[in-house]
Amino acid sequence: MRTDSPRKAAPRSIVIWTLVALVGAAGWSVLALSRGEEVSAAWTVAAALGSYAIAYRFYAKFIAHKVLKVDGTRATPAERLNNGIDFHPTDRRVLLGHHFAAIAGAGPLVGPVLAAQMGYLPGTIWIIVGVIFAGAVQDMVVLFFSTRRDGRSLGQMAREEIGPFGGAAALIAAFAIMIILLGVLALVVVNALAQSPWGTFSIAMTIPIALLMGFYLRVLRPGRVSEVSLIGIALLLFALVAGRWVAESSWAGAFTLAPSTLVVWLVAYGFIASILPVWMLLAPRDYLSTFMKIGTIVLLALGVVVSLPTLKMDAVTDFASQGDGPVFAGSLFPFVFITIACGALSGFHSLISSGTTPKMIQKETQVRLIGYGSMLMESSVAVMALIAASVIDPGLYFAMNAPAGVIGDTVQNASQVVSGWGYQISPEDLAAAAKNVEESSLLSRTGGAPTLAVGVSEIFSEVTGGGLRAFWYHFAIMFEALFILTALDAGTRVGRFMLQDMLGNVHKPFRNVSWKPGLVITSGIVCGLWGYFLWVGVHEPLGGINQLFPVFGISNQLLAAVALAVCTTLLVKSGRLKWAWITGVPLVWDATVTLTASWQKVFSSDPRVGFFEQRSVYQAGIDRGEIVAPAKTMDDMHTIVTNSTVDGVLTAVLALLVVVVIADATRVCIRHVRRPALSSLSEAPYVESQIVAPAGLVPTRREKEEVRDAVGAEPRG
Amino acid sequence: MRSALNRAARAARSVRWYVRELTDESGYDRYVAHVRAHRPDADVPSRREFERMRTDRQDADPRQGFRCC
């Protein structure tokens, strides 16, 4: 590191950063102190942006320079191994967009919406504090270490630095987590599209649009991505408008599908899409969803800032302390911290930070911008999702997110139950809310996507006028379903890849990824596995999201624990023991939260929380020949018993795997501290970098001069 | 007037550059430049061949370009 920055801060910078701190502090004070009155979302935005700016300027800079000691003179894998295809030095602004598009998906939009049942305050605090001290740190540190190791994946790093045992446990955990993730994401889509001809039609249309784009790129004009994306987006918007005509026409029946029919379609889609070549569906879909994602997020940010809506949800609801919320059961600690994963701390990001990005980064000094900066951006998306869920009427929020087994299926019944929780909403208002967005009903549309869509339509129609409300609702649904379907396809492929690798140990040909029978079998297994969870989620009498989302949250946070354990081990082994707390403290917090949640899901004596207690309550009912609500038939009772057993065993196994990884990592760390000579560090050797590039988004004056000098010395620029 | 036009043209160029880079549409030009610089005698694939090779690589290892939840 060059020590060019003067030690004494300039007066102007002191004034600016004091102002930023004051803005953030003002936001936090209003959020924390206002009770009983409605608060403007402006304060949430102020608290978030102020905190992000300070964390990025001070904490991230401290980690980059004092802890990781990023070295601007050291060549990155992109420079050393440049092959012009996947290893190539990429402009930092482009890579920021790339990395952000890769990490931000449906996750930061769904979790915060569900967590809003405990009020907007717990979620806001966790999203902002969590990202600053845990999530963004994890992403940056993984990116740094993977960059120093030629872009090794998290699994490879776990195997090399911790050992084969911990490495294998990490691999199995990653596979299980992938399956649960796909099942839950698919469930979100099913709940958003069920009985909605408009939504189903426009999402179905994305398939022929993607096929057309794929054909265009493969045969007509190879590689012309921008023009084909423009065509695709135009067709997509047309499909969205046409969805309304279809919903009002005689075709509506064909696109009004029951949840169980949608399950069959989705699993079939996942299977077929994942065995087709990438160019046909996956690549074009990916362009569409990237553009839609970035466009919608920018629109949403503008919408929130322009309309500055007021938050109607309570700051903290009674469900936070009582733990009997209808959206998911359990009290604030630990369940808010596992429900909001993406946006605060997400284990999945470690797969991106140790995958494509380290092979493209130009300079080690840029890990702060790419790793920490992108994660702050994702966190702001999560804050916007929380705002969108909190601007709608709380009565409507609970009617949309409580399982049908709790609120019944008529507006009268729902209104009565929700009012019993202290949130008044009349049956007429519930019916009108559905009519406003041209849906037949909004009751029990769990999964977060429909709630977010209502919130988004509320915010957007404040800017564009109420006439477009239904359009904006379906726009938001389409945008979420679009990239969840892309994730199903891509995730099935990655799961298949892991499975091929594992089965390859038993039967050699499986390892050959172009061996067709192996491809079909492994794709079938992966789709069958997530399809099972999807099927279970749709038919779960206790509510699929209610039961499965905690398992998903736990698994994602357990992956984060694996990533943080790898980071901490690497900090210790690379002679940074003094700084091991940087990832060690988030690891301890994450492990505490997640293992407590797993413990409660497995052993709690509250049948709403503990899977095995739930099992024994319903099993006892079966033995007595009695039906226990919300089950309606004996079949329901048996379904609940089976599902609770599967979920409980799965949660326990995942927790055990992660305990193994953490224990193995601790062993390696202790051994290193006692006898450093025994451990080996597989870091790529130092090579001097020839590239000159700024570290941050905006180059400093000195960096500009360096770039100019370098261009002058080297004619090709 | 003229400077405003210039500025607009420059802005449009940088937007075009950014979009081409972000979607990796510029990948072919980059690859050709790379091959020419490092192996001047080697054959350069046509754009069609290059794009095929690129998606086929993704088929072989789907972890390339994986997206998160």
Model confidence pLDDT, tens digit, residues A27-84: 999 998 887 788 999 999 999 999 999 999 999 999 999 999 999 999 999 999 999 8
Say which DSSP state A2 is in: -
Chain B residues whose C-beta is within 8 A of a chain A C-beta are: 16, 18-25, 27-28, 30-31, 33-35, 47-48, 50-52, 54-69
Summarised one tens digit per residue, pLDDT across range A675-708 is 988 888 889 999 999 999 999 999 999 999 998 8
Is pLDDT above 90 for A5? no
Alpha-carbon gap: B13 to the closest alpha carbon of chain A (Å): 14
Q: What distance lies between CA A230 and its chain's CA centroid?
A: 27
User: Which A residues in the span 464-503 are in contact with B, Cβ-Cβ below 8 Å?
Assistant: 483, 486-487, 490-491, 493-494, 496-497
Q: Name the strand (E) or helix (H) holding A40.
A: strand A39-40
CB contact under 8 A, B25 and A351: no
Alpha-carbon gap: B34 to the closest alpha carbon of chain A (Å): 6
> Chain B residues with CB inside 8 Å of A381's CB?
none
pLDDT confidence bin for B69, thresholds 50/70/90: low
pLDDT confidence bin for A641, thresholds 50/70/90: very high
Beta bridge partners of A75: A363
Please say whether the dihedral angle defined by the alpha carbons of residues A674, A680, A683 and A687, taken in this order, is positive or negative: positive
Summarised one tens digit per residue, pLDDT across range A182-211 is 999 999 999 999 999 999 999 999 999 999
When CB atoms are compared, the residue of B28, B35, B68 closest to A103 is: B68
CB contact under 8 A, A278 and B59: yes
What SS3 class is residue A311?
Answer: strand
CB contact under 8 A, B59 and A277: yes
Q: For residue A8, what pLDDT is reported?
A: 75
Cis peptide before A197 (omega within 30 of 0): no
CB contact under 8 A, A98 and B59: no
> Chain B residues with CB inside 8 Å of A185's CB?
69
Pairing mode, strands A39-40 and A310-311: antiparallel
Mean pLDDT, chain A, whole residue set: 93
Please name which of A594, A619, A649, A31 lies closest in space to residue A330, comparing C-alpha atoms.
A594
Contacts with A645 (C-beta within 8 Å, 6 or more apart), sequence order? A611, A612, A615
When CB atoms are compared, the residue of A88, A97, A226 closest to B25 is: A226
Share of chain A above pLDDT 70, in %: 98
Q: Is A666 on the interface with B (CB under 8 A)?
A: no
Say which DSSP state A402 is in: S
Residue type for position A592: T
Q: What is the mean pLDDT of residues A100-118?
A: 93
Measured CA to CA, the distance from residue A306 to residue A299 in angstroms comes to 10
Q: For residue A714, what pLDDT is reported?
A: 47
Q: What DSSP string describes A219-253? A: IISTT-HHHHHHHHHHHHHHHHHHHHHHHHSTTHH
CATH topology for A11-195+257-678? Amino acid/polyamine transporter I (1.20.1740)
User: Which A residues in the span 27-86 are in contact with B, Cβ-Cβ below 8 Å?
Assistant: 82-86
Residue of B nearest to A511 (CA): B60
Residue of A nearest to B60 (CA): A513
Summarised one tens digit per residue, pLDDT across range A301-328 is 999 999 999 999 999 999 999 999 999 9
Say which DSSP state A439 is in: -
Please name which of A359, A370, A371, A365 lies closest in space to residue A73, comparing C-alpha atoms.
A365
Please name which of A23, A56, A57, A17 lies closest in space to residue A42, comparing C-alpha atoms.
A23
CB contact under 8 A, B31 and A85: yes
pLDDT confidence bin for A2, thresholds 50/70/90: very low
Query: Taking the CB of residue B53, how many other CB atoms lie within 10 A of it?
Result: 12
Q: For residue A7, what pLDDT is reported?
A: 63
Summarised one tens digit per residue, pLDDT across range A576-630 is 999 999 999 999 999 999 999 999 999 999 999 999 999 999 999 999 999 998 8
Structure token pair of residue A618:
């319903």
Q: Is A232 on the interface with B (CB under 8 A)?
A: no
Q: Name the strand (E) or helix (H) holding A39.
A: strand A39-40
Q: What is the mean pLDDT of residues A336-359?
A: 93
Measured CA to CA, the distance from residue A416 to residue A137 in angstroms comes to 46
Q: Are A65 and A42 in contact (CB under 8 A)?
A: no
Say which DSSP state A507 is in: S
pTM of the model: 0.95
Measured CA to CA, the distance from residue A340 to residue A347 in angstroms comes to 12
Radius of gyration of chain A, Cα coordinates, nearest whole angstrom:
25
Measured CA to CA, the distance from residue A665 to residue A167 in angstroms comes to 10
CB contact under 8 A, A102 and B67: yes
Which of B23, B30, B38, B68 is the best mutation test for A, with the most CBs of A within 10 A? B68
Alpha-carbon gap: B41 to the closest alpha carbon of chain A (Å): 16
Alpha-carbon gap: A365 to the closest alpha carbon of chain B (Å): 21
CB contact under 8 A, B68 and A287: no
Q: For residue A166, what pLDDT is reported?
A: 83
| Percent helix, percent strand, percent coil in chain B, to nearest 5 | 70, 0, 30
Contacts with A43 (C-beta within 8 Å, 6 or more apart), sequence order? A26, A27, A30, A31
> Chain A residues with CB inside 8 Å of B56's CB?
277-278
Q: Are A99 and A139 in contact (CB under 8 A)?
A: no
Tell me the count of A-B CB pairs closer than 8 A. 127
